[in-house]
Amino acid sequence: MRIGYARTSTVEQRYGLEEQLDALQTDGCEKVYSEQLSGTKADDRPELQRCLDQLRDGDELVITKLDRLGRSVLDLCGIIDTLDERGVTLRALDGSVNTASAAGRLTIHLFAAVAEFENAIRRERQAVGIARAKAEGKYDKRADAKRARHRAQVVAMTADGKGSQSSANELGISRSTVMRIRREEKAA
């Protein structure tokens, strides 16, 4: 079975959802899953999860472009591993990947190697950053707990129409902490 998946981050995005849906239907997809979500991981995309649950051995997942399936190499590799385990091939209409071919499988293995490399570099940078912050007396791994303590108050103040700076002043926290809480709440 040929199944399509389409995603846009926003309604206004240039390569819109309608164009993707048209391309997938023209390609002969029997069923197409679509959603409009920004910057979320595969686990946080309900239509992608439904699509992955539907796929069986011998099926083909078709996308218009590889970045519609995932933004990070690590996330893409996780999805592709899931497809491989189920015997599902992946094909992008723009020609960037087709796991039915040897060259396509090589491309995927290169992605996996890059993802592993990126992950190792991120961990190294994180360790260096933490060591520097500790040396400067700025490291506080309890920051999340501090934000959690103020979360309900920030949400209430936002609902009341209070600005970021006045909320921060009233709670005795930084404006950036207020903005981070608001972003986290909006994404939740």
Catalytic residues: 9
Give the Cα separation of 111 and 97 in Å (integer).
Answer: 11
Task: List the structure tokens of 150.
Answer: 């103020």
Q: How many CA atoms lie within 13 A of 141 on its CB side?
A: 6
Strand order through the sheet with 31-36: 31-36, 2-8, 60-63, 89-92
Give the Cα separation of 142 and 54 in Å (integer).
Answer: 41
